Structure 1
Amino acid sequence: MVLFIVLGACLVGVAITLNVTWIILNWRRFMPLLLGIPFFVLLIAGVVLNTIFLVREVRRNERHDAFLNAVTHELKTPIASIRLYLETLERRELPEDTRNKFYGIMREDSDRLLATVEQVLKAGEVGQRSRSQQMRVPVEMRSLVSACIDITRSRSHAQAESGVPQSITLEAGDPSIPVIVRGNPDELQTIILNVLNNAVKYSSSRVDIRVHLRIENDAWVILSVTDSGIGIPSAHLKRIFKRFYRVPNRSVLRTKGTGLGLFLVRTIARQHGGDAFASSPGLGLGATISIQLPRVLTPLEAPAVTSLHRQESV
């Protein structure tokens, strides 16, 4: 990437030098100046655009390589774990409680493996589907968010047992006021679980997550998830929603993930007529991921009651 930037800067410098020399030699001739200056502007613009394109391609290839490494690790680790426990069960006579424990671990590893595959497929699916192709029903967000929090707590139960303090609180406002959006319940569940799981994963020594659900200007439903984790540098707040992008930080790169979670969050939110945003005071000071969705003021039918699947998120 540095090579392409330096090469582009050198080409622009050479072009400017030649053009200035040409103008000095032909400043008394009107037609060469009239024709030469626009061609010079086009030449410089072409060199700059070509350099930008090359730099973007280099960055995209780097993200693809990081994604392949992450997915390979996410697939290899549970497969190796399942194989190890199966070989142990085949070669040794184990007590019933130990066998049941091994079965539970293998089930969790298979769920993790399936979730990684489903997430990659979902990323390709949402990128190709238009909003008009989706089936929308009214969804009550307060109950959906509460159920997703329960799932997140159950998933991180092992971390709580290891001595890491955990706290996930929900502030949803007046329960008598309906908080309803129109959308696909499964996809809304996916983005909420992704944001909650990210907040748990990137929390450092303790898990302290605050979930706020509010109505803004009677037109928008805002879901904000704030953690006290490793934080996000300001230069990366917009980039984290790109496909395969992960913040180049050692603490982040040590955490398992494919770089697709927040891409799915923003893509699905925009397909529902909303958006997703990120904010952070800085490194080590936590971060807030907000999802904005259009509110349904007078639903024509009862909100959808969804059966929440215990699927893994990023």
Structure 2
Amino acid sequence: LIAVAVGLNISFIVVNFRLCLLLLAGVVGFAVLIGGLVLTTVFLIREIRKSEQHDAFIHAVTHELKTPLASIKLYLQTMRQREFPPEKRHELIDTMLEDSDRLQQTIDQILLVGKTGAARRVDNPTDVDVSDIVRECVALAGRRHHLVDGEVRRVDDAPHGAFVVKGDREELVAAVTNLVDNAIKYSGEGVRVGVEVARMGAKRVAISVRDQGIGITRQELKRVFRRFYRLPAALQSRVRGTGLGLSIVRAVARRHGGRAYAESSGAGKGSTFTIELPLKSS
């Protein structure tokens, strides 16, 4: 009897152990299946978003290229068909020059994306005065956006040669110009933009561009430097853009051994974009 009882218990344990193994295998298999579905869904969502951003980029670039070309063509046809007094002709020529500058800026942005993405470091760096770059970019923004004095201003008065870095001057001008242009475009009707150059510790310099515009939420701060990404508020406000500007800023900063970052207290509270660069070794 004892032997029979022991045998029955062992048989019961073996059967239940097998059932437990089958149940465990089923649970693990189900978990793996669910995990696979989740990963596949996340991957598909990311690919869909990338595709949407790419399509939006193509549309924006097409618009940025076609609009000034159509404007220039229209003015040229009008000038060929009609005679205008000298003042009117100068006005039309100035408008065409502005459109050609806009067209050139878009092309330069696209070319710079390829350039900054192809190499990690700047080839043949030269001495670049950061304060001179900021002065140039502020003056250029004022002319391009027809601003009055004080709407974009430098909030420092660093002397010539105070902050010198090793790098590509053209790339650094493009990066700072992108930040200033963005600050102006997203400021709305009342433009108040401040550009500051300041020392960060003993070996770095920071270029900060502050605005009082649409602001950025905490979630969007993590995405603003991605290529093709545009803020939802920017899309709603119909501000023109290709989604390349800030990705160029980050790429240029990294190529110069620095970094780029954004700060904002939230939507409607303005934002600050900063480029930090290592100073030239003395």
Instruction: State the TM-score, normalized to the length of structure 1.
Output: 0.77
Alpha-carbon spacing, 1:27–1:149, altered in 2? closer, same or farther (3 Å)? farther
Answer whether contact 1:244 1:260 (CA < 8 A) is retained: yes
Amino acid at match of 1:143: D
Residue number among 56, 64, 67 corresponding to 1:74 in the alignment: 64
The gaps in structure 1 that reach 5 residues or longer are 1-25, 299-314
Answer whether contact 1:246 1:253 (CA < 8 A) is retained: no
Q: Which moved more, 1:231-240 or 1:58-67?
A: 231-240
* % identical equivalent positions: 42
Other-structure match for 1:90: 80
Other-structure match for 1:4: none
Answer whether contact 2:186 2:234 (CA < 8 A) is retained: no
Alpha-carbon spacing, 1:136–1:43, altered in 2? closer, same or farther (3 Å)? farther
Find out whether 1:151 has 2:135 as its counterpart: no
The DSSP-based 3-state class of the residue aligned with 1:206 is coil
Shift of 1:119: 1.1
Other-structure match for 1:178: 162
The DSSP-based 3-state class of the residue aligned with 1:239 is coil
Deviations 1:192-220 (A, max 9, x none): 11101111111112111111211112122
Shift of 1:226: 0.3
Q: Distance in 2 between matches of 1:257 and 1:176?
A: 33
Alpha-carbon spacing, 1:120–1:36, altered in 2? closer, same or farther (3 Å)? same
The DSSP-based 3-state class of the residue aligned with 1:125 is helix
Other-structure match for 2:188: 204
Residue number among 41, 45, 53 corresponding to 1:51 in the alignment: 41
Instruction: State the TM-score, normalized to the length of structure 2.
Output: 0.86
Find out whether 1:111 has 2:101 as its counterpart: yes
Amino acid at match of 1:188: L
Answer whether contact 2:213 2:270 (CA < 8 A) is retained: yes
Shift of 1:115: 1.6
Other-structure match for 1:137: 126
Amino acid at match of 1:98: K
Max Rg structure? 2
Residue number among 209, 223, 226 corresponding to 2:207 in the alignment: 223
Find out whether 1:62 has 2:45 as its counterpart: no
The DSSP-based 3-state class of the residue aligned with 2:102 is helix
Q: Distance in 1 between matches of 2:23 and 2:255?
A: 50
What is the number of equivalent residue pairs in this alignment? 267
The gaps in structure 2 that reach 5 residues or longer are 1-14
The DSSP-based 3-state class of the residue aligned with 1:241 is coil
Answer whether contact 1:79 1:109 (CA < 8 A) is retained: yes
Compute the RMSD of aligned alpha carbons.
Answer: 2.4
Alpha-carbon spacing, 1:260–1:61, altered in 2? closer, same or farther (3 Å)? same
Q: Distance in 1 between matches of 2:234 and 2:260?
A: 25
Alpha-carbon spacing, 1:27–1:69, altered in 2? closer, same or farther (3 Å)? farther
Q: Distance in 2 between matches of 1:130 and 1:32?
A: 53
Q: Distance in 2 between matches of 1:114 and 1:176?
A: 30
Q: Distance in 2 between matches of 1:114 and 1:147?
A: 18
Query: Residues 159-308 of structure 1: matches in 2 within 5 Å?
Result: 159-160=147-148, 166-172=150-156, 175=159, 178-249=162-233, 253-298=237-282
Shift of 1:106: 1.0
Answer whether contact 2:131 2:160 (CA < 8 A) is retained: no
Q: Distance in 1 between matches of 2:40 and 2:243?
A: 27
